[in-house]
């Protein structure tokens, strides 16, 4: 816990492990499957939003923000106000589409791209399933 009471850090929680970050919202597939077991860097939660350091193969070190837009706005504002933003690499930021506008209002964003994090909880019927296709490292359809 960062702080209790009514100060600028009230309600802001530091998350110290990958397991704790995953358990923040066990139904969120991004948190369930995207968080490496060796979480490196800061993570904070406020309300139902979390912000955490995240590195991607394509863009390198950065951060991710997830949660309802109002909670994301409150979380970012609080992290900035208490000086914790300096703990995050700011080369890139991943954010859910619903909360993009509140992140864009708070950070100067460069060019980026739209992406969709996809998952399944059921395997296809098999390799002959019409929905299955082989992908290479760089898929020509993307």
pLDDT tens, position by position, 95-113: 888 898 999 899 888 777 6
Question: What is the tally of structural domains in the chain?
Answer: 1
Q: How far is CA 9 from the centre of its chain?
A: 21
pTM (predicted TM-score): 0.77
CB 92 within 8 A of CB 112: yes
Displacement of CA 30 from its chain's centroid (Å):
8
Predicted local confidence at residue 138, as pLDDT: 66
Q: What percent of the chain has pLDDT over 70?
A: 88
Per-residue pLDDT tens digits for 63-75: 899 999 999 999 9
- The span from the CA of 62 to the CA of 59, in Å, is 8
- In angstroms, the CA 70 to CA 129 distance is 41
Containing structural domain, residue 133:
1-142
């Amino acid at each position: 816990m960062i702080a209790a009471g009514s100060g600028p850090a009230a309600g802001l929680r530091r998350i110290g492990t990958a397991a704790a970050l995953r358990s923040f919202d066990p139904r969120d597939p991004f948190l369930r499957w995207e968080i490496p077991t060796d979480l490196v860097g800061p993570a904070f939660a406020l309300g139902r939003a979390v912000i955490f350091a995240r590195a991607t193969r394509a863009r390198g070190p950065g951060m991710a923000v997830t949660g309802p837009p109002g909670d994301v706005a409150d979380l970012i504002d609080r992290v900035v106000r208490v000086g914790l933003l300096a703990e995050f690499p700011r080369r890139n930021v991943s954010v859910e589409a619903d909360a993009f506008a509140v992140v864009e209002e708070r950070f100067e964003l460069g060019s980026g791209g739209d992406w969709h994090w996809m998952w399944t909880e059921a395997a296809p019927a098999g390799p002959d399933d019409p929905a299955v296709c082989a992908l290479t490292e760089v898929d020509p359809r993307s």
